[in-house]
Amino acid sequence: MKKTLLLAAALPLVGGLTAHKPAPAAPVVTVRNRLNVARPAETVSVPLSQLRALGPAASLRGVVVKDAQTKAVLTSQLLDSNADGQPDELLFQAALPANGTRQFVLAAGAPVPVPAGGPTTFARFVPERTDDFAWENERVAFRTYGPNAEQLFDKKDPNGTLSSGMDCWLKRVSYPIIDKWYGRHVHEKPFAYHTDIGEGYDPYHVGTSRGVGGTGVLDGNKLYVSKNFASYKVLATGPIRTVFELTYAPWDANGRQVTEKKIISLDLGSNLTRYEEQLSADKPLSNCTIGLTLHEAKGEVKADRPAGWCRYWEKIDDSYLGTGVVVAPKYLLDYQDHRSAAKDQSQLYMVAKPNVVFYAGFGWQKSGQFASAADWDAYLAAFAQRLASPLEVSVK
């Protein structure tokens, strides 16, 4: 299995200014929100190609982002979005008022470090639990399963897992838990993360379902899906965004040989993971179908197809969990509430174009983030609204 790690997130930032030339004016980033609602925590992306005042993008070593009004220094991150070894985006987060504009000044300097245990994003391959891949931010955590777990499943080993579905890890603390929970699995007892000792736990069942945002190709009334991921590549981990790729062995979709790659990212402050799904086949594909499992179908389903979102609200142990998928309407072809007597096959389907960008995730009542299904609905509706009206960013 291919294992590549490209460290892009923690690159320090900035170009040197010679002693013989006056320093150019500090670049100012103007961010505009055209929605009539406030946006309390939005990720702003600035292409480094626009920051020529700080020097060539290839030589940037450090940048500081300051709020033009308050002069506060913001946490920022450099991102190598195309994996060529050079950063090409500057990320930071900002709160935007309704129909409002804010400005930020960029200057050469060392980025603000994230305090130990502070809110951040993170992803890694997990060989100590067969070969999971897990990712998280300060609100949510997820995992999915690799080829060794598939091989163990084929051998009928109880440690095996056959699934390309996406699992939820229900956390209720803002600090990272992936390393700690897998450490409990190794050093305390196997699968200790299924027990909540105050930080959250993993009670969510995926099985052969799509979990939260697993994909497939719907043909007639049957969903054809891949097996476990075959390889991974970490592109970035950092205080604002984590990005990685998962590739899958070719799989069959009713006579079509399908190749699949997912580019997956998670931003600080978001309950939803972003998926850029890339499907191709030797014969035309009619769709990429995004699934949301209904488990025993005892929960409550809701969808707003025109806005592009659906959700499931269910009781798990002594609390409630909301799961959801958001797809820009331009990608969406159909929505189906699919019920089946077969185990793990009752699911909501968002049927989209074969190459689609979508968002999937969850909100756990016990985390304190969402008190009710109405709160979760409001979150998904607002997310879809922001997706339809991206921030306008300019640099001068």
Q: What is the pLDDT along the chain (396 residues), one digit of tens a residue?
A: 444 443 333 333 444 444 455 555 788 999 999 999 999 989 999 998 887 666 554 456 678 999 999 999 999 999 998 778 888 899 999 999 999 999 999 988 888 788 787 899 999 999 999 999 999 999 999 999 999 999 999 999 998 999 999 999 999 999 999 999 999 999 999 999 999 999 999 999 999 999 999 999 999 889 999 999 999 999 999 999 999 999 999 999 999 999 999 999 999 999 999 999 999 999 999 999 999 999 999 999 999 999 999 999 999 999 999 999 999 999 999 999 999 999 999 999 999 999 999 999 999 999 999 999 999 999 999 999 999 999 999 998
Beta bridge partners of 2: none
Q: Are residues 36 and 92 in the same domain?
A: yes
**Is residue 393 in some structural domain?**
no
Tally the domains of the chain: 2
Residue 178 domain-assigned? yes
Does 275 share its domain with 209? yes
Query: Alpha-carbon distance 264 to 357, whole Å?
Result: 10
Surface-to-core class of residue 85, CB atoms within 10 Å of its CB (0-12 exposed, 13-18 middle, 19+ buried): exposed
Length of the chain equals 396
Residue type, 155: K
pLDDT of amino acid 206 = 97
Q: 222: domain range?
A: 122-388
Half-sphere exposure of 28 (CA within 13 A, CB side): 10
The predicted structure's pLDDT at residue 61: 63
pLDDT at 9: 37
Which among 111, 139, 155 is the end of a domain? 111
Tell whether 32 and 137 lie within a shared domain: no
| CA dist., res. 80 & res. 63, Å (int) | 15
Which CATH number covers residue 265? Answer: 2.70.98
- Contacting residues for 320 by C-beta, under 8 A, at least 6 apart: 313, 314, 364, 365, 372, 373
Q: How far apart are CA 186 and CA 271, in angstroms?
A: 28
Tokens linked to 384? 């879809």
Distance (Å, whole) CA 289 – CA 295: 18
Residue 26 confidence (pLDDT) = 83
Same domain for 98 and 219, yes or no, is no
Domain co-membership, 104 together with 128: no
Instruction: Select from 67, 90, 111 the last residue of a domain.
Output: 111
Q: Are residues 273 and 351 in the same domain?
A: yes
Measured distance CA(73)–CA(143) in Å, rounded: 33
Residue 135 and residue 36 share a domain: no
Q: Tell me, what's the pLDDT at 82? A: 77
- Residue 59 is part of a domain; what is its CATH number? 2.60.40.1180
| Rounded Cα–Cα distance for residues 214 and 34 (Å) | 32
285, 255 Cβ separation under 8 angstroms: no
DSSP element (H, E) containing 28: strand 28-32
- H or E element, residue 179: helix 178-187
pTM of the model: 0.92
Cα gap 3→34, rounded to integer Å: 42
